[in-house]
Amino acid sequence: MLSNSLIEQDRAHLVHPVASWRGHEQSGVRLLKSAKGATVTDAQGHQLLDGFAGLWCVNAGYGQESVIEAATKQLRELPYATGYFSLGSEPAARLAARLAERAPGDLDHVYFTLGGSDAVDSTVRFARYYWNARGMPEKDQFISVQQGYHGSSTVGAGLTALPAFHAGFGLPFDWQHKITSHYAYRNPVGNDPQAIIDASVAELRAKIEQIGGAGRVAAFYVEPIQGSGGVLVPPKGWMAAMRAVCTELDILFIADEVITGFGRTGPLFACEEDGIVPDMMTTAKGLTSGYVPMGAVFLSDRIYQTIADGAGAAAVGHGYTYSAHPVSAAVGLAVLDLYEDGLLANGTKMGARLMAGLHGLSDHPLVGDVRGRGMLAAIELVIDKQNKTPLPAAAAPATRVFERAWQNGLIVRAFAQGVIGYAPPLCCTEAEIDAIVERTRLTLDQTLEDPDVR
Ligand code: PMP
C-alpha cells in the first residue's frame, strides 16, 4: 500500500522534531492528507477536529481560498526577492507597514525571519548591538522565565527553560539566567495574584543584583502566556509589573508573542490586553497562519534608531536568504485581511465559549485546573484534587491521552505532566467548539478507566 511504503520511507529517513527517535521508529508516522477549516483528514480517511491548529499556528484555519490565491499569484509574479543590497518586494513592504501600524506603541520597525526561533535569535543579536551602540558592552546577560519556551536555535534553546532542550546540548549558556514562573496552580507563594506578582518582581530584582546589577543585564524575555510550558497564564498586572521593573532599570523588555500573536488570545497581540509596549516583540506562527514559514521581530523606534546610528554607514551584519520572503509576505497580507474581516471577532467569541466549556469540565474527577485566555487554553489533570497529585508517569499522559483523543476524533496537545493544551483555529464554529469539549470529556472518562491512573 502507498501509505505503508511512505511510513517506511519516513521511518528510515525522516528525523522528526522534538521526538524520541527510537520511539518514532517504533510508532511510525501518522500521515495527514488534507484539511479544511478546522478539520484534518489523515491518510486512512479518518477525520479529526484540530484542537491545536497544527502547532498553535493555523489560526485562520485550513483551505482559506484568499490565502491560497495570494500565494499562487505571488509565486507566478515573483517567487523570490532578496532583501540584501537594499532590494525588496511589494508584499514585504506592504506587510511591514501594515504590521507597524497595528503593533502596540512605537514598535514601528519590522525585521522578517523564517520562524520564531530565528526571531528570538535576532532579538539577542539586536539587544547586544543596541547596548554596544550605547557604549554599554558589559550589558550582556539575559534573563528569562522557568517553563518558558523561546525556540530551538542554540541561543533560543538556552533561553528556553524546558529540560529536554538543555540536557545533552550543553545548555544554557552561562549568560542565560532564569526566574521562577508565575504558574499559579503550583506556585510556592500560593495562587493569590498580587502575591505572585510581588514574588516575581522581587525575584527579578534579586536576580539582577545577583548577576551584578542592571549594568550587566541586556534584556528580560517573557511570553504573555507561557505556551509550551503548559499554557500558564500570568495574573492580570504581572506583565505590566515586570515591564515596569525593566523600564526603571533600563533593561530591554522582550515579549515573545510567537504563540500569543495574531488573535490567539483575542486581540491581534496579547500585549494590547496587558496594556504594555515591549522594546522588541517576536512573532511567527499566526503571522502566516502556518501556510508558509515566516516570523517577525518588531523593534521600537528607540532600538531601531540607536542601532542605525551606531552602525552609521556600516552594514548591520544580520540577515537570512529568506528574510522578508515575498510569498510569505503575500500570505501574511491575505491572512491579516482575514483577521481584520471577522476572524479576530469570531476567535474572541469562540474563545469565550471554549473557556466556558472547559470550565464545565471542572466537575470531572481528573480535572485539577482550567486556565487560558481566548483560543489558548489548558486543563491540568490530577489524580487527587486536594493534593494536586499529578498523573503518574506510568499513565504516560503525553502518548495515551493524545491517542485517546485522536481515536475520539480530536487533536490536542498532550503534555508529559498531564496537561491538555488547546489552540483551535479562530474560524471554529460553535458546534466545533462544543465538539472539542465533548470529545475531551470522553477522553477524560477513558483516562479515568486506565489502571495506571490511580
Ligand atoms: N517562541 C515561542 C513562544 C514559541 O512558542 C515558539 C514555537 N512554539 C518559538 C519561539 C519558536 O518558533 P519556531 O518553532 O517557529 O522556530
Q: What is the DSSP letter of 19?
A: S
Q: What atom of ligand 1 comes closest to residue 228's alpha carbon? A: 5
Mutate to test the pocket of ligand 1, among 52, 56, 254, 259 (most ligand atoms within 8 A of CB): 259
In this structure, how many other beta carbons lie within 10 angstroms of the beta carbon of residue 249? 15
CA distance 248 to 165: 32
Q: Please give the CATH topology (third level) of the domain spanning 81-324.
A: Aspartate Aminotransferase; domain 2 (3.40.640)
CATH architecture of 31-64+341-448: Alpha-Beta Complex (3.90)
Scan for cell 503548559, then name that residue: 230
For 444, the 3-state DSSP assignment is: helix
Where along the chain do its domains lie?
31-64+341-448, 81-324
CA dist list (Å): 196 to 65, 84, 222, 387 = 45, 46, 15, 20
Contact 447, 453 (CB under 8 A): yes
| 410 membership: H or E segment, kind and range | strand 410-411
Ligand 1: nearest atom to the Cα of 285:
15
Condensed to tens digits (0 to 9), the pLDDT of residues 30-61 reads 999 999 999 999 999 999 999 999 999 999 99
Segment 182-192, tens digit of pLDDT: 999 999 999 99
CA 125 to centroid of ligand 1, rounded, Å: 17
- Mean pLDDT across the stretch 2-20? 92
8 A C-beta contact, residue 317 and residue 65 = no
Closest by CA position to 148, among listed 172, 170, 123: 172
**Across residues 397-422, what is the average pLDDT?**
97
Containing 142, the helix (H) or strand (E) segment is strand 141-145
Helix (H) or strand (E) segment spanning residue 382: strand 376-384
The model carries a pTM of: 0.98
pLDDT tens readout for residues 189-242: 999 999 999 999 999 999 999 999 999 999 999 999 999 999 999 999 999 999
Residue 436 C-alpha cell reads as: 472539542
Q: Is the CB of 116 under 6 A from ligand 1?
A: yes
**Best CA proximity match to 184, nearest among 236, 252, 146, 234:** 234
Nearest residue to 185 via CA among 441, 387, 421: 387
**215 CA → ligand 1 middle, Å:** 29
Q: Do 173 and 165 contact (CB within 8 A), yes or no?
A: no
Q: Is the CB of 435 under 6 A from ligand 1?
A: no
- CA-to-CA distance for 37 and 262, rounded, in angstroms? 17
pLDDT digits (tens, 9 = 90+) for 263-322: 999 999 999 999 999 999 999 999 999 999 999 999 999 999 999 999 999 999 999 999
**Residue 1 pLDDT:** 53
Q: Which of 56, 149, 159 to mutate to test the pocket of ligand 1 (most atoms within 8 A of CB)?
A: 149
Query: 2 alpha carbon to ligand 1 midpoint, in Å?
Result: 33
Q: Is the CB of 150 under 6 A from ligand 1?
A: yes
For the beta carbon of residue 80, count every other beta carbon within 10 angstroms: 12
Pairing, β 176-179 against β 376-384: unpaired
pLDDT tier, 454 (very low <50, low <70, confident <90, very high otherwise): confident
| CA atoms of 411 and 48, how far apart (whole Å) | 7
Q: What is the pLDDT of residue 374?
A: 98
Residue 406: CB atoms within 10 Å: 18
Q: For residue 40, what is the enclosing H or E element?
A: strand 39-42
Q: Are strands 419-422 and 413-414 parallel, antiparallel or unpaired?
A: antiparallel
Q: What is the pLDDT of residues 317-341, one digit of tens each?
A: 999 999 999 999 999 999 999 999 9
**Alpha carbons 1 and 3: distance in angstroms, whole number:** 6
Number of H helices, E strands in the chain: 15, 16
297 lines ligand 1 (CB under 6 A): no
Mean pLDDT rounded to a whole number for the chain: 97
Query: Buried b / exposed e across 25-64, counting CB within 10 Å, b at 16+?
Result: eeeebeeeeebebbbbebbeeeebbbbbbbebbbbbbbeb
Which residues sit opposite 39 in a β-bridge? Answer: 36, 49
445 secondary structure, DSSP code = H
**Bridge partners, residue 219, by sequence:** 142, 252
Report CA(256)–ligand 1 centroid distance (Å): 8
From residue 72, give the alpha-carbon distance in Å to each of 69, 75, 287, 296: 5, 5, 18, 22
Residue type, 351: G
